[in-house]
Amino acid sequence: MSKKYFGTDGIRGRVGDDFFTPEFVLKLGWAAGCVLAREGRKGVLICKDTRISGYMFESALESGLSAAGVNIRLLGPMPTPGIAYLTRTLHAGAGIVISASHNPYSDNGIKFFSGSGEKLSDELELAIERELGKPMQTVDSASLGKAERVVDAAGRYIEFCKSTTPSTLSLGGLSIVVDCANGATYHVAPSVFDELGARVTKIAVQPDGLNINHECGSTYPARLQQTVLEVGADIGIALDGDGDRLIMVDHRGEVVDGDELLYIIARSRQRTGQMRGSVVGTVMSNFGLEHAIRSLGLGFERAPVGDRYVLQKLQENGWILGGESSGHIICLDRTTTGDGIVAALQVLTEMVQTGASLHDLKQGMEKYPQYLINVRVAGKVNLAGSDVVQAALRQAEAALAGKGRVLLRTSGTEPLVRVMVEGSDIQKVKHTAGRLADQVADTFSGQVLQAGH
């Protein structure tokens, strides 16, 4: 059975369009509740980011879970990695996050975590989808789930984040700009860095339900770059709407992406004797990261796009460190999922312990020119089933003559086809990517949206 609703990061859609409606989320809550109840997982945590539709979907989920006989504990606005931690410490059966991560406010999504703080398995997601196909039935009134609010969730998570650094660490003397994307970290992230002694400048910390990720956060670092230069900060930290992505800016205003941050943390772990096994990236990771990691004498392996697949490869091999170019970084020796605040703290720890700037720390990795073009399509498309597209793909690979690579894939969270070309000659890279993207757009009646390094 293939999944109809679950993608690489839960279920996501445009609010009110297609299937993503309050009625669907109500039944999703019931379906998830039925599956969890059968496994004896009676208590579920629910948190959300700051988008306006979160209120509506929180109520719908609560009703559906209650109808299935599952008790609910409501956390309010909280980062996604926060619920991964709290499901463990509060001994919950599962955690549910209402968030569309880096997407605009008009989208929303549902993410599930197991009681151990990890993304649900494919088997459980399929079981929930099977329940969605059944008529909804409410348990007897005496068995309905109850709901309560957890009032100290943010404080618990702040203390956890601080605990992932050495007990003697002080960020005193560091000037940090924190961009919270008007999202779920707005009341958490600044406190973490402030309580560790840093001088903190806050931006994008006034969510109004509509401004999440709007010209701010990890997908739009320009505002952070400008602020770092204006205040003369040592470093800038940009999180996304739900706090599981991290992009940083050095004191020169230069962006440091997920690949470079992963390299810095890997080298730090190796320096302190904490590294275990290989580093895991994805098929989108820059070839320069692979080269830099191998130059440290460490192994490097690629997983499919999606932090759940990075996590899966880490767990299968007993390794501790992996991530994506977008800034999903998993430090399994610190937590169970991608966590932007925790990842930032690992980089800051290395800066303090070595006395090096972020600009200096990233110098060991040289990125290959990489060009990405997004093509918007009407819905799901079968790239492998199109002879024309596959022929264009082979032609693109041949044009690089073994001095680069091509990645053509559909997005797991948006109706997009991503065309990525990487190589030593940027002009050839751009030309090759453009021709392949045009062919994809022509074949699937799509629209070329954007391009960039």
Query: For 205-245, what is each residue's pLDDT tens digit?
Result: 999 999 999 999 999 999 999 999 999 999 999 999 999 99
Q: What is the mean pLDDT of the chain?
A: 94
CA dihedral 346, 305, 249, 425 (to 10 degrees): 130
Is residue 429 domain-shared with residue 299, that is, in the same domain? Answer: no
Closest residue by Cα to residue 236 from 212, 265, 200: 200
For 18, 86, 350, the CA distances from 271, given in Å and listed in that order, are: 51, 31, 10
Q: Is the pLDDT of residue 453 over 60?
A: no
Is residue 251 domain-shared with residue 263, that is, in the same domain? Answer: no
Is residue 355 domain-shared with residue 381, that is, in the same domain? Answer: no
Is residue 39 domain-shared with residue 147, that is, in the same domain? Answer: yes
106 occurs within a structural domain: yes
Q: Looking at 75-84, 129-138, 280-289, which range is the least confident one?
A: 280-289
Query: For 15-58, what is each residue's pLDDT tens digit?
Result: 998 799 999 999 999 999 999 988 877 799 999 999 999 999 99
Query: For 360-383, what is each residue's pLDDT tens digit?
Result: 999 999 888 889 999 999 888 999
Is residue 246 domain-shared with residue 263, that is, in the same domain? Answer: no
pLDDT of residue 2: 80
Instruction: Return the structure tokens found at 253.
Output: 């205003």
307 occurs within a structural domain: yes
Q: What is the mean pLDDT of residues 138-163?
A: 96
Query: For 342-355, what is each residue's pLDDT tens digit?
Result: 999 999 999 999 99
The catalytic site residues sit at: 101
Please state the domain count of the chain. Answer: 4
Say what the pTM is.
0.88
Q: Is the pLDDT of residue 147 over 90?
A: yes
Closest residue by Cα to residue 243 from 284, 212, 265: 212
> In whole angstroms, what is the distance from residue 438 CA to residue 375 CA?
9
Q: Is the pLDDT of residue 142 over 60?
A: yes
Query: For 79-124, what is each residue's pLDDT tens digit?
Result: 999 999 999 999 999 999 999 999 999 999 999 999 999 888 889 9
